[in-house]
Amino acid sequence: MTPSTDPRLLDVRRESARLARPTGHRVWLLLIVNVPLSLWYFSWLLAPQRVGNRALYGILIVAELFNLVQAAGFWWTCADERSRRGAVRPAYLADVDVLVPVYGEPVDVVEPTIAAAVRLRGARVHVALLDDGDSPEMEALAARHRATYVRRLSRTGAKAGNLNNALRLTSAPFVAVFDCDHVPDPGFLEATLGYLIADSRIAFVQTPQYYANAIRGGLPAAAWAQQALFFGAIARGKDRLGAMFCCGTNVLFRRSALDRVGGFPENSLTEDFELSIRLHALGWRSRYVSEVLAQGLGPEDMAAYVSQQHRWARGCLSALPAALRAKLPWRLRAQYVLSAMFFLSGWSVLVYMLLPVIRILTGAQPLASASADQFLLHFAPYFTASLLTVVLAGAGMYTFAAFALTAASFWLHIHASLKALLRRPGRFVVTPKRGRAGRHIRAVLPAMIAICVLGASAWVGLLRDRSPATLNNVAFAALHMCVLLSGAGPALRRSGGVASQADAQQRRGRSAA
Amino acid sequence: MDGEVTIDPPKPDTTARSDLTAVLALTIVGLGLRFIVTRSIWLDEAISIAQAQLPFHEMMARLTQDVHPPLHHAVLWLTVRLLGTGELAVRLPSIIAGTLLIPTLYGAGRDLYDRRVGLVAAMFGTVAPIAIWYSQEARMYSIFMLFALIAVWAQVRVLRSGGPGAWIVYSIATAAMIWTQYFALLQVAVQQAAFAVSFWRRRGARWRLALAWVGSILVILLLLIPLRPLLESQVHAYVSNNAGSALPAQAGLGATQQQSKLSVYAFIANMIWGLWGYHADTTMAQIVAMWPLGMLLMLVLLGRGYSGMSMLLLSVAAVPALILFGVGEVQRNLFELRYFVGAVPVGLLLMARLASSTENAGPRRLIVGLVVVTLTVGLADQQLNGANPRLYDFRGALARVSAQAQPGDVVVYEPQFIGPVVDYYAADLQAKPLSTGLPLPRRGRRIFVVGSFLEDPGSAAQVGNALHQLSTRRRDAGEFHRPNVQVWVFQ
């Protein structure tokens, strides 16, 4: 990746403005519609005469109520928001330690980050490159940019351990953390530091985790669209509720707050999430600045995406008991529970996929005393209004590709929740920063199996009869197939991989020379 | 996203000649398709034709008992004077309006979006089943579609540039739309609401817009003043007649129509008819059951962005239908595609926009091609499939009766309201409704019993009784069937 081809160095003001665009009043207006429509649908659905096959009905109700809780949480979060874009001017020139943990990432990915970190304005900056990869190239890189190079003897605690080690070696009152692929904007500290200086109760200021490679389309774009919904309306809403949690990168901490909780939790897969719970439980506050102040790289291939999402799902679901136990105000507790519960949504996707298959193959269905048009009459307004809320809250940034990617990752949620339930130990896996060449069938194998099952049952249904009832279920199966196929698409297409492309560019460069 | 109409500067036109050729070719194909008429004169058409043969003042007097504004009737009156009452002659105004829809779709698509959308919209309009269906009907719906599209197109131009030309076209098209079909008021209401929203959101030149807006309303009202006496008479007659009509609805039979209460399936069926045409009830039941694919479409649209202009088009296409759906809950017969058929060209435009929005040429061509194929299949099924419950082959049935009938033979028909069609196709035959009694011609002469709408129990019973009586007194000389028309012959 050369400076001319590195998307992290491009102007991002437009995307930043889009991300920060306030949407709360629109969501609030839609809330007036959403609540009665939800009540209408669920009062119809929960009527006793609606019970068809008891087991299927029960499963459907659980899935629908889960989605309703998630939707209601989303509406509540996004209905009002706080948008912080203008910087709070710091009262004095403070010292800030800028920590960049590295573990085997390529030099050309890390170099722009370090180069940008040493140029941060608004404070006396001390950049430390925390290399768990024990790489001489990294040491040389740090030397080139006059950054401190930190190498650990033991690599316990993964990223959290690496950061804690650096905290012991540094002393500035404020600590900025950037993943090694996140290139900070020179104005990062100018936009964030003032909050910490102005209010001593604030533990950290979080900024968006923007994927600059989204401009290339494909998987990074879909992954960014997922992020955009969170770092847009949701994060602004969480900020209003005082419930914004730390996302591990592009964040500025108060050292004393970190010290109070003993640094980053080393036994968690999502040290940032758990750290936030601990800080909030001790009464510390958090802030969110909805301005893109660092540009990173999203997962370039499906294997990387799966690895990242699985870690997030495991980590957040494992932190659920901690969120429930912690002494938090109910608003914060509810926000943490809602955020963690999102990673259970794969179960509801599984339920929705199974229902048409069961109906086609066995004839059993969850609902009774309800024709398809009655169901549609009650469901369609609720579904449409909910979808419209996502569109408006996400300022149009949430895409079908993002939705499909979430749906195709249903199995991740199931796997992660089962592992969390069984308390199986997890391993911190660094998300690869570069795409690997070829197809990544294994990463979407469960989705592909689901597509085959849905396709086969649809085929059986069509062979058996063409009644409207069967066709309705075949159409549901087709809907799921299209969504899954679209979500799994990036893994099925043969890609050159960013690394391979970079190598090829270098080879071409050498041969030209 | 902000809902405002975006202003794009006009692009240099380097492909005008090729576009002109393409649109001309599409228009010729469209004209050809509209000339291939496969169905007979419908009841409403027959009534209009009968009225158009009256002296003008008498026709207008008859219209006071009708529920339609007079523009199409006046055009038809003139057509009958110039060209006669042949099928093609009376349908010519509709054919012309339906054909003009093709270049208008191109112009609107090109102007509102880009030339690609214009061409695709014209392509869709060429084979759009409903556009063709109503182009082949001597009624006002084809003209309504044309004016509806022009009114929306002009409004977007007004909101973009606010030039006097666009205001004039908008005002005239709007007034013409109301002169053509009273239900156009629903579209007018949506468009006026769009002006209000635009006024509310506009930062600069707000009062200039308001002034021009008020001016256009005054012009529209001025153009509607001559309509007032007729409208008052019609309202009075409608209320006196207890707001009912003896005629059956043309659109919407079968599972979605016969129910006393509207279902959401009826709404979906009307939407599908609007784009893919009328089909057999069994086919419609199957298509409508696949509504989950509509959910897929909604999901696919996530993140595609939308402009204020697209929202306006969507509102014009959807709001009248939704309002009539709501009204239909109270008065079932008012929820019919033909009453919001102005939404069809706007829907085609939006569909063209959607189909041609993919950046990659390959998938885009594939999507556009698939849509054209489905529209063509829909057209073929609508026009040719005898199972289409809206195909009533009175022409075929009565032509055969005319061919077989001898002087002294008698034709009886049921229900009574098909009388104008019988008069149109078999004016030289001695025909009378069955409800007035069963005539018995002298021995040796034949009696033809023409039955239609036999799914209605009353008509079925009437025809059954007649057949029973005739079978005991006369020799059964055979029977024949045409789509939705049955004929029994006794001697």
Query: Could you tell me if A430 and A473 lie in one domain?
Result: yes
Sign of the Cα torsion B8, B9, B15, B21 reads positive
Q: What tokens were used for A324?
A: 């429930």
Output the average pLDDT for chain A.
88
A251 found inside a domain: yes
Distance CA B117, CA B8 (A): 15
pLDDT of residue A513: 33
- Count of alpha carbons within 13 Å of A82, Cβ hemisphere only? 12
Q: Are A165 and A150 in contact (CB under 8 A)?
A: yes
Query: Could you tell me if A281 and A416 lie in one domain?
Result: no
- As a whole number, mean pLDDT of residues A200-228 equals 92
User: Is the pTM higher than 0.80?
Assistant: yes
Query: Which residues of chain A are within 8 Å of residue B306 when distances are taken between CB atoms?
Result: 396
Structure-model confidence comparison of residues B315 and A428, the more confident one: B315
Tell me the pLDDT of chain B (491 aa) as tens digits.
Answer: 344 445 555 555 567 889 999 999 999 999 999 998 778 999 999 999 999 999 999 999 999 988 899 999 999 999 999 999 999 999 999 999 999 999 999 999 999 999 999 999 999 999 999 999 999 999 999 999 999 999 999 999 999 887 899 999 999 999 999 999 999 999 999 999 999 999 888 877 788 889 999 999 999 999 999 999 999 999 998 888 765 555 555 434 444 444 556 788 889 999 999 999 999 999 999 999 999 999 999 999 998 877 888 899 999 999 999 999 999 888 888 899 999 999 999 999 999 999 998 878 888 999 999 999 999 999 999 999 888 888 899 999 999 999 998 888 899 999 999 999 999 998 888 899 998 888 877 777 889 999 999 988 989 999 999 999 988 888 888 999 998 999 999 98
pLDDT of residue B263: 84
Least confidently predicted of A141-150, A203-212, B441-450: B441-450
Residue A496 binned pLDDT confidence (cut-offs 50, 70, 90): low
Query: Could you tell me if A74 and A105 lie in one domain?
Result: no
Q: Are A184 and A208 in contact (CB under 8 A)?
A: no
Query: Could you tell me if A369 and A407 lie in one domain?
Result: yes
Closest CA–CA distance from residue B117 to any residue of chain A (Å): 22
Query: Could you tell me if A138 and A167 lie in one domain?
Result: yes
Least confidently predicted of A394-403, A423-432, B328-337: A423-432
Give ipTM to 2 decimals. 0.89
pLDDT of residue B223: 97
pLDDT of residue B2: 43
Structure-derived torsion over alpha carbons of residues B165, B167, B172, B178, reported in degrees to the nearest 10: 160
A463 found inside a domain: yes
User: In this structure, are strands B430-433 and B410-414 parallel, antiparallel, or unpaired?
Assistant: parallel
A421 found inside a domain: yes
pLDDT of residue B6: 52
Q: Does B295 contact A383 at a Cβ distance shorter than 8 Å?
A: yes
Residue A511 binned pLDDT confidence (cut-offs 50, 70, 90): very low
pLDDT of residue A303: 87
A328 found inside a domain: no
Sign of the Cα torsion B402, B408, B409, B412 reads positive
Query: Could you tell me if A214 and A348 lie in one domain?
Result: no
Q: What tokens were used for B204?
A: 């600069």
Residue A502 binned pLDDT confidence (cut-offs 50, 70, 90): very low
Query: Which residues of chain B are within 8 Å of residue A383 when distances are taken between CB atoms?
Result: 295, 298
CB proximity A466 to B under 8 Å: yes
pLDDT of residue B256: 44
CB-based contacts of B157, cutoff 8 Å, min separation 6: B111, B163, B166, B169, B170
Pick from B263, B296, B305: which is nearest to A373 by CB? B263
Closest CA–CA distance from residue B411 to any residue of chain A (Å): 41
Q: Are A407 and A487 in contact (CB under 8 A)?
A: yes
Q: Residue A7: is its pLDDT beyond 60?
A: yes
Return the closest-CA partner of residue B251 out of B231, B277, B282, B275.
B277
Q: What tokens were used for B397?
A: 């049935």
Query: Which residues of chain A are within 8 Å of residue B296 when distances are taken between CB atoms?
Result: 478-479, 482-483
Closest CA–CA distance from residue B208 to any residue of chain A (Å): 29
Structure-derived torsion over alpha carbons of residues B52, B57, B59, B62, reported in degrees to the nearest 10: 180
pLDDT of residue A503: 44
Query: Which residues of chain B are within 8 Å of residue A469 when distances are taken between CB atoms?
Result: 289
pLDDT of residue A495: 62
Task: Report, in angstroms and rounded to the nearest whole number, the Rg of chain B calculated over CA atoms.
Answer: 24
- List, as one string, the DSSP characters of B66-80: SSS-SHHHHHHHHHH
CB proximity A51 to B under 8 Å: no
Least confidently predicted of A17-26, A74-83, A440-449: A17-26
Q: Residue A505: is its pLDDT beyond 50?
A: no
Pick from A21, A376, A400: which is nearest to B291 by CB? A376
Structure-model confidence comparison of residues A512 and B443, the more confident one: B443
Q: Domain range spanning residue A481?
A: 8-80+344-492
Query: Could you tell me if A385 and A483 lie in one domain?
Result: yes
Q: Does B302 contact A377 at a Cβ distance shorter than 8 Å?
A: no
pLDDT of residue B252: 40
CB proximity A384 to B under 8 Å: yes
Distance CA A204, CA A285 (A): 7
Query: Could you tell me if A68 and A101 lie in one domain?
Result: no
Query: Could you tell me if A47 and A123 lie in one domain?
Result: no
Distance CA A435, CA A303 (A): 9
pLDDT of residue A86: 62
CB-based contacts of B241, cutoff 8 Å, min separation 6: B65
Least confidently predicted of A91-95, A314-318, A413-417, B456-460: A91-95
Distance CA B169, CA B223 (A): 13
Query: Could you tell me if A113 and A260 lie in one domain?
Result: yes
Percent of chain A with pLDDT over 70: 91
Q: Which range has the top average pLDDT, A261-275, A491-505, B8-22, B112-126? A: B112-126
Q: Does B264 contact A373 at a Cβ distance shorter than 8 Å?
A: yes
Distance CA A13, CA B3 (A): 21
- List, as one string, the DSSP characters of A106-139: -HHHHHHHHHHHTT--SSEEEEEEEESS--HHHH
Cβ neighbours around A276 below 10 Å, total: 29
User: How do the domains of chain B map onto residue ranges?
Assistant: 16-384, 394-490
- As a whole number, mean pLDDT of residues A322-342 equals 92
- List, as one string, the DSSP characters of A124-192: EEEEEEEESS--HHHHHHHHHTTPEEEE-SS-TTHHHHHHHHHHHH---SEEEE--TT-EE-TTHHHHH
B483: left (phi over 0), alpha (psi -120 to 50) or beta: beta
Instruction: Give the number of domains in chain A.
Output: 2
CB-based contacts of B33, cutoff 8 Å, min separation 6: B126, B127, B132, B379
Query: Could you tell me if A425 and A301 lie in one domain?
Result: no
Task: Report, in angstroms and rounded to the nearest whole number, the Rg of chain A calculated over CA atoms.
Answer: 24
Looking at residue A316, the DSSP 8-state letter turns out to be H
Distance CA B338, CA B145 (A): 10
pLDDT of residue A215: 87
Nearest CA in chain A to B263: A373
pLDDT of residue A16: 81
Query: Could you tell me if A114 and A62 lie in one domain?
Result: no
